[in-house]
Homo-oligomer: A and B are copies of this chain.
């Protein structure tokens, strides 16, 4: 098991906070320092014993850190990387939890310079629709997948530390190319988020919104759960992964057009085949997940 003397978490929300709590729970970390834009959230994180103290974008915070986790919305990543690059110690390993990887990798190449070999891009595929330090809990990563997208020049020591840290959180660690990662996540995560936001928007924008919502039930609730996710974070993910997401939205549009044609011609057989195939695929997936 890894042992991290000093961990710095930049962005102590659901993701960063749960990482700190999980490592503390596993006895894998000494001191945890939290850095964030919102003083109230950092204060709350300290109260909740997620972090031991609040830090700043300075050498005292980052110079002797063994591991730094960047858990901010992807859109804040440029500012954060630029700010920390000159502060990092010679041995400090940096990883991130960004939901897109091509953009984070390109950014790291531009900004991290001397520390690039000690940067291990990562993405824990876990979360809830809640956000902020209050939402953090130590079991978030248990049995969940974490994808690392290391570069050619990434140091084996750095990769082993990050992998070990996530494993201490109970996660299973996989490796993908950044582009592969972004394409996969566009389909199974970014697309459904946009679809859920769009459905709630459609209902809310109706003249009849109040009555429509009053008849919405459990199916609507679960379908739209992810539309309660952090808007800034999802704005950034969509912009960062725009190309892959647009391609998936196009494919989805073609799929819906196919369903519409089935409906228009009243093709019950084709509809049932589509629904049956989808149900079977989903049920197989659920079974394999267990």
Contacts and interface: CB of A to CB of B under 8 A. Distances in A.
Contact of A282 (B215, B228, B248, B274): B228
Contact of A259 (B198, B218, B229): B198
This protein's copies in its complex? 2
A266 B252 contact: no
Contact of A217 (B125, B271, B276): B125
Contacts of A128: 218
A56 interface: no
Interface residues on A, range: 35 or more
A66 to B, nearest CB: 29
A226 interface: yes
A251 interface: yes
Contact of A220 (B75, B189, B268): B189
A255 interface: yes
Interface string A7-28: 0000000000000000000000
A126 interface: yes
A281 B203 CA distance: 9
25 contacts: A126-B217, A144-B217, A188-B216, A189-B215, A191-B199, A192-B199, A192-B219, A195-B223, A196-B278, A197-B259, A197-B275, A198-B274, A201-B255, A201-B281, A202-B251, A222-B223, A222-B225, A223-B223, A223-B225, A228-B282, A231-B275, A235-B271, A246-B260, A249-B256, A249-B259
Interface of A: 75, 125-128, 144-145, 147, 184-185, 187-189, 191-204, 206, 208-209, 211-229, 231-232, 234-236, 238-239, 242, 245-246, 248-249, 251-253, 255-256, 259-260, 263-264, 266, 268, 271-272, 274-279, 281-283, 285-286, 288
